[in-house]
């Protein structure tokens, strides 16, 4: 087995607020290997974006990493200073955000923005950087890159802009890319193109990708493994086929049931009643217990850890030990 590119162990993120501390992430552990796409999925507020931000040390103060470690290419990075992190961001971790328009500076040509990033991290002359910028645009499938490199972001369409952002993330050949909802702002036909592009780059360049999304469809198309998050914890993690076709956690099962299937048509969808608890009101025991249809007395007392389930892991007493 090769060493994972990113390994997160027992990560805990806290936000001190008036009258207490909110735990936004609790005991999150995951690994991503080279050439692998890990999908991180969950509903709003589950902590999926927070995981991506914590890895890059981009938490908004007063949020802070209160425990656990983040190891990138064998080096622990969660306690580094801001100056040291700046060298890592862009060089070793590339980031793709949801809205391609706000991730690009409207006042500079895309070529200038690409060259800036390239020259910041790689030792290159202006001329070399420019030709690498063209090369990158070509790699992400932008037609006529020699011409497009001199265009401004507003001259690109939404899908093309997101390609530029991907090129920007790839500029310094990072080993890890964190893509936070990269397709959410795009139309469905463009979304399919961007997913295919991510998939191809991941295969060709051996980049590890953390794909954060709320869309199970995107996960199904792109990811190798998937981590399902609920109320700041991992509910289930495993190979994408296993988790989507044969989920072990009742929450994942409910989530899959609430998506209208393309196979047989049903009159009513299976629904999970209620909504995710707020961070200041996470119930004792398993956080999913108020919405769970198969909960037992144990679920209300003890919090389940991630137990082996099939080829993956699930945090549910049903998987290990029973609910009584």
Partner 1 sequence: MTRPFALRVRNLSRKFDVSAPWLNRVVERKPKQYVMAVDDVSFDVPKGGCLSLVGESGCGKSTVARLVTGLYPPSNGSLEFTPDINGAPLSAQMIFQDPYASLNPRWKVRDIIAEPLRELKLRETEEEILARVAELLTTVGLSPNDGGKFPHEFSGGQRQRISIARALATEPRFLVCDEPTSALDVSVQAQILNLMRRLQDEMGLTYLFISHDLSVVRHMSDRIAVMYLGRIVEEAETETLFANPRHPYTQLLMQTIPNIEHPKRAREVTTGEVPSPLNPPKGCAFHPRCPLADARCSAERPAVLTLKDGNRVACHRVEEAEGDSARELTGPNSLSA
Q: Which of 220, 228, 229, 319 binds partner 1 (CB under 8 A)?
A: 220
279 binds partner 1 (CB under 8 A): no
Minimal CA–CA distance to 91: which of 7, 164, 34, 175? 175
Token readout for 82 is 């801001």
Q: How far is the CB of 24 from partner 1 (least distance, A)?
A: 17
256 binds partner 1 (CB under 8 A): yes
Q: How far is the CB of 186 from partner 1 (least distance, A)?
A: 9
When the beta carbons of 86 and 245 are compared against partner 1, the nearer one is 245
The size of the chain, in residues, is 324
Q: Which of 1, 107, 268, 281 binds partner 1 (CB under 8 A)?
A: 268
Angle at 71 between CA 68 and CA 73, to 5 degrees: 175
Q: CA 196, CA 45: separation in Å to the nearest integer?
A: 27
Are 151 and 134 in contact by the 8 Å Cβ rule? The answer is: no
Q: What is the DSSP string of 156-202?
A: S-HHHHHHHHHHHHHTT--SEEEEESTTTTS-HHHHHHHHHHHHHHH
3-state secondary structure at position 13: strand
Q: Which of 19, 74, 106, 260 binds partner 1 (CB under 8 A)?
A: 260
Q: CA 275, CA 149: separation in Å to the nearest integer?
A: 46
Q: How far is the CB of 2 from partner 1 (least distance, A)?
A: 21
Q: CA 235, CA 229: separation in Å to the nearest integer?
A: 5
Sorted by sequence, the CB contacts under 8 Å of residue 54 that are 6+ apart come out as 11, 13, 25, 65, 70, 78
Q: Which of 157, 293, 301, 311 binds partner 1 (CB under 8 A)?
A: 157
144 binds partner 1 (CB under 8 A): no
Q: Which of residues 163-202 bind partner 1 (CB under 8 A)?
A: 187-193, 196
Q: Stretches 4-12, 66-74, 113-121, 218-226: which one binds partner 1 (CB under 8 A)?
A: 218-226
Q: Which of 52, 90, 111, 159 binds partner 1 (CB under 8 A)?
A: 159
When the beta carbons of 120 and 256 are compared against partner 1, the nearer one is 256
Q: Stretches 63-71, 132-140, 204-212, 252-260: which one binds partner 1 (CB under 8 A)?
A: 252-260
Minimal CA–CA distance to 50: which of 74, 73, 32, 66? 66
Q: Residues interacting with partner 1, by CB under 8 A? A: 43-44, 157-160, 187-193, 196, 214-221, 223-224, 240-241, 244-245, 254-263, 265-273, 275-276
């Amino acid at each position: 087995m090769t060493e994972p590119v990113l390994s997160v162990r027992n990560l805990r993120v806290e936000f001190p607020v008036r009258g207490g501390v909110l735990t936004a992430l609790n005991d999150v552990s995951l690994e991503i290997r080279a050439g692998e796409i890990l999908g991180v999925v969950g509903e709003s507020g589950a902590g999926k974006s927070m995981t991506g931000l914590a890895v890059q040390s981009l938490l908004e103060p007063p949020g802070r990493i209160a425990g656990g470690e983040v190891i990138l290419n064998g080096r622990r990075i969660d306690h580094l200073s801001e100056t040291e992190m700046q060298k890592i961001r862009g060089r070793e971790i590339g980031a793709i955000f949801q809205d391609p328009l706000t991730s690009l500076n409207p006042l500079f040509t895309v070529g200038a923005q690409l060259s800036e990033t390239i020259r910041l991290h790689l030792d290159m002359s202006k001329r070399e950087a420019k030709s690498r910028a063209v090369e990158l645009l070509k790699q992400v499938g932008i037609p006529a890159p020699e011409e497009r490199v001199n265009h401004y972001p507003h001259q690109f369409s939404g899908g093309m802009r997101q390609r530029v952002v991907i090129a920007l993330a790839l500029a310094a050949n990072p080993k890890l890319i964190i893509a936070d909802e990269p397709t959410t702002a795009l139309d469905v036909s463009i979304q399919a193109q961007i997913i295919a592009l991510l998939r191809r780059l991941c295969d060709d360049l051996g980049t590890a990708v953390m794909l954060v999304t709320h869309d199970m469809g995107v996960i199904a198309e792109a990811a190798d493994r998937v981590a399902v998050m609920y109320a700041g914890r991992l509910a289930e993690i495993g190979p994408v086929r296993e988790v989507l076709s044969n989920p072990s956690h009742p929450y994942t099962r409910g989530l899959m049931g609430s998506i209208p299937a393309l196979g047989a048509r049903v009159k009513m969808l299976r629904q999970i009643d209620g909504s995710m608890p707020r961070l200041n009101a996470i119930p004792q025991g398993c956080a999913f217990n108020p919405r769970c249809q198969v909960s037992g007395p144990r679920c209300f007392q003890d919090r389940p850890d991630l137990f082996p389930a099939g080829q993956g892991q699930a945090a549910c007493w049903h998987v290990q030990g029973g609910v009584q």
